[in-house]
Structure 1
Amino acid sequence: MSRLPHPSPERMASFVSLNCSFPLQPPPSASSSSSSSSLSSPQSQPRKLIDILSSTCHQTTTTATRTTPASTPPPHNNYGGCSNLIKPIVVNGEPPTFVSAPGRRIVAVGDLHGDLDKTRSALEIAGVLSSDGQDLWIGGETVLVQLGDILDRGEDEIAILSLLRSLDIQAKADGGAVFQVNGNHETMNVDGDFRYVDSGAFDECTDFLEHLEECEYNWEEAFASWVDVSERQRDERKRSQSYWGPWNLVKRQKGVIARSALLRPGGPLASELARHAVILKIDDWVFCHGGLLPHHVSYGIERINKEVSHWMRGLGNTDSYLETPFIATRGYDSVVWNRLYSRDISDLYDYQISQIESILEETLQAVGGRRMVVGHTPQPMGANCKFNCSIWRIDVGMSSGVLDSRPEVLEIRGNKARVIRSKRDGFSELQVVDHV
């Protein structure tokens, strides 16, 4: 594991300089490289990522990988650890784009917007997170998909990202997997748009950089341990917080600069987000934040994922990739902004509804899918499906910074899908209609 340069004694002073540069880059992860890897299933209880890596910030980690020759088929990863009765998960694309997960239970979670408590609640009712406060994966061979918009409107953004990374490591060891897709708020922040950032999130960025320094700039270990450290840091910050005076202005400026350093294209947190797709196809289910359209499919969904990833990594001016991938991240009909399928259709004419359904059917046929799952637009009445259940809308605005509604998740088993609202309230189930 390579370590990043240790900062000069003037590091903290540089935070209050608008010309501050912070050349941190996380090392490439095995899951986002063009290599194949397999993980064997441990016989013991699942462990959190920080336990798997180390209990301190000073122990390096390694991941076994195998280089794929240039003449082989497209790169893929095998998620091992599964039983002999079920085939391994196979992932193609960099970032992951096409996934084969035969026989797996799939759970999809919508927008989280910086609310760690609601995130944990959603994952607990999904049956993948332990309820003992230890953040253990209990989902076995389940595949978890988070549909983006982890950033903005809440103060625990990096902590949620850290938690999901921890669960991904644990899930792979059990034959499961955790996937994320980037939403419009991820792309907005990488583009420098901080309009919807919670004040506590700026503070989290400052605190995280200090934690990264304490970990001697070992990104993997600092990121892994942050979910455990962040809540203590947040409580200490609130106890000593002053809402008035010039220090608060300096503190905010430090937070803005810290966030810019982390999330600028090529920054360490932007490069972390670059590990994830904006469009993910698991078997015949399509997952994206806003909505996929026919011209997106014609352009190429793997091409879109690569262009967004290159842009986030700061490679947007090379290899003929656009500096800002417009088709994915900009415009009302881009992948992360599209609301065609998730809007309220009660005010539309029948012919308009038929047009939307026709577009959806054309898109699914073009991409070789049967159903699509989207977030992005809060559904006040809860997660639901439309157009003969070809589209599922699962953003319920659960974050306290949005609607503060109760968490809901979508569970997919074969050709059936159901909305799980809570263990106490039970669930509602809807049959998913097969498309011929």
Structure 2
Amino acid sequence: MASFPINSLPISASQPRKLSEPSHSNGGLKPITVTGNPPTFVSAPGRRIVAVGDLHGDISQARSALEIAGVLSSDGHDLWTGGETVLVQLGDILDRGEDEIAILSLLRSLNIQAESSGGAVFQVNGNHETMNVEGDFRYVDPGSFDECIDFLEYLQGYENWEEAFVGWISVAERYKEDRRMSQSPWGPWNLKKRQKEIVARSSLFRPGGPMACELARHGVILKVGDWIFCHGGLLPHHVAYGIERMNREVSCWMRGVNDDNDIPEIPFIATRGYDSVVWNRLYSKDSANVGSPSWKISSIAEKTLQSVGAKGMVLGHTPQLNGANCKYNEKIWCIDVGMSSGVLNSRAEVLEIIDNKARVLRTGDDSSGELEVADYL
């Protein structure tokens, strides 16, 4: 396996940085400014924001969602078409599907393209990202174990991680087809193959491994303008602890080092427990199912948003059987619709935010593929 010294990259102090300015700006927008490492606070004046929920290894549904969002070409060339749009993906790219690394590679490729147009792509990590870095592979699809083996083989031809990782999306399907052609019918029950799969995935996703370090580029909380984006849900005690501090600690843990070069402990407040940032379902489940009256949950949401100077919070994590929706005086938007074939295989939906007004974009129920726009809620 090629060696990429990713975990030697420093976690720098929180200094605002400007992303690349558009090469042909048509609206005269100010450049996007990012604070935090990994990104925590984003100033994106005048930008259209689109948010995509849980993808769970389904590259086909991921592309559908990105096309609905207006940021991905429909010609199969995986080109950014969003201009100065800011795209936020809410985590749980891993598990339940077989194209996890391909989706991560696609998002990284789109970010590079977006920055040259004055846009940007951001991600936050979900509970399935943190589970895999912990070595919890209970929900890994068999095809994803195979993807890990293919990806390690592919890396042998590269010395530069950036080039290798961004390029994976263009060859992943070919590797998958070659594997299927050569796979023995006894493969799933082959003990040696199973051991090879576990070793391959562990080497990629263990703290300090190349995929864990790739995930470490992203936090668990992101504030873009007046909106908070996270996988499970932000609570007052998270804010009191410090959201930039949480992002930094999760990133250091994934990279396998901290500021003192010691092996970091798992950041419990962000990644473990029912009320952690990536596991919390207080806002995304019906109030009757979480044992709290709706007025109380609404009060908690209001207090949290006020403490970070935000107008709304966008969440994934809990599939919404009736589609993306808003709750608690339009403060909370839940956009995980279980679109992956490994979850509910529902139609793709995304959230669009323009001038602090949010609406849901989805394909129609008929076979025409026409875009539906839900009224502002």
TM-score by length of 2: 0.93
* Partners of 2:141 and 2:188 in 1: CA distance: 19
Q: Please name the residue that 1:94 is paired with.
A: 37
Is the counterpart of residue 172 in structure 1 residue 115 in structure 2? yes
Q: 1:426 to 1:85 in 2, by over 3 A?
A: same
Correspondent of 2:137 among 187, 194, 208: 194
Is the counterpart of residue 131 in structure 1 residue 74 in structure 2? yes
- 8 Å Cα contact 2:16/2:33 also seen in 1: no
**Paired residue secondary structure (2:195):** helix
- 8 Å Cα contact 1:179/1:276 also seen in 2: yes
Q: Please name the residue that 1:210 is paired with.
A: 153
Tell me the amino acid that sits aligned with residue 243 of structure 2.
I
Q: 1:91 to 1:317 in 2, by over 3 A?
A: closer
Q: Deviations over 1:72-118 (max 9, x none)?
A: x8342333114462111000010000000010000000000000000
Q: 1:424 to 1:119 in 2, by over 3 A?
A: same
Tell me the amino acid that sits aligned with residue 295 of structure 1.
H
* Partners of 1:374 and 1:225 in 2: CA distance: 30
- 8 Å Cα contact 1:24/1:267 also seen in 2: no
Structure with higher Rg: it is 1
Tell me the amino acid that sits aligned with residue 306 of structure 2.
Q
Tell me the amino acid that sits aligned with residue 90 of structure 2.
L
- 8 Å Cα contact 1:79/1:90 also seen in 2: no
1:346 to partner: Cα distance: 5.1
Q: Please name the residue that 1:406 is paired with.
A: 347
Tell me the amino acid that sits aligned with residue 211 of structure 1.
Y
- 8 Å Cα contact 1:316/1:324 also seen in 2: no
Tell me the amino acid that sits aligned with residue 273 of structure 1.
L
Is the counterpart of residue 367 in structure 1 residue 308 in structure 2? yes
Tell me the amino acid that sits aligned with residue 200 of structure 1.
G
* Partners of 2:340 and 2:290 in 1: CA distance: 29
Q: Deviations over 1:384-436 (max 9, x none)?
A: 000111000000000000000010000000121110012515110224xxxxx
Q: Deviations over 1:4-41 (max 9, x none)?
A: xx76xxxxxxxxxxxxxxx6433778xx975xxxxxxx
* Partners of 1:172 and 1:91 in 2: CA distance: 12
* Partners of 2:251 and 2:169 in 1: CA distance: 24
Q: Please name the residue that 1:379 is paired with.
A: 320
Tell me the amino acid that sits aligned with residue 349 of structure 2.
E
CA RMSD of aligned residues (A): 2.1
Tell me the amino acid that sits aligned with residue 328 of structure 1.
A
Correspondent of 2:362 among 421, 425, 428: 421
**Paired residue secondary structure (1:79):** coil
Tell me the amino acid that sits aligned with residue 382 of structure 1.
G
- 8 Å Cα contact 1:316/1:323 also seen in 2: no
Q: Please name the residue that 2:217 is paired with.
A: 275
Q: Please name the residue that 1:60 is paired with.
A: none
- 8 Å Cα contact 1:203/1:252 also seen in 2: no
Q: Please name the residue that 1:54 is paired with.
A: none
Moved more, 315-324 or 420-429: 315-324
**Paired residue secondary structure (2:359):** strand
Correspondent of 2:6 among 23, 26, 37: 26
* Partners of 1:245 and 1:83 in 2: CA distance: 54
Q: Please name the residue that 2:279 is paired with.
A: 337
* Partners of 2:343 and 2:122 in 1: CA distance: 23
Q: 1:245 to 1:27 in 2, by over 3 A?
A: closer
**Paired residue secondary structure (1:153):** coil
Q: State the number of aligned residues.
A: 370
**Paired residue secondary structure (2:183):** coil
Q: Deviations over 1:135-171 (max 9, x none)?
A: 0000000000000000000010000000000000000
**Paired residue secondary structure (1:430):** coil
- 8 Å Cα contact 2:270/2:277 also seen in 1: yes
- 8 Å Cα contact 2:68/2:371 also seen in 1: no
Q: 1:347 to 1:337 in 2, by over 3 A?
A: closer
**Paired residue secondary structure (2:174):** helix
Q: 1:247 to 1:102 in 2, by over 3 A?
A: same
1:321 to partner: Cα distance: 8.3
Q: Please name the residue that 1:266 is paired with.
A: 208
Identity %: 67
- 8 Å Cα contact 2:49/2:353 also seen in 1: yes
**Paired residue secondary structure (2:128):** helix
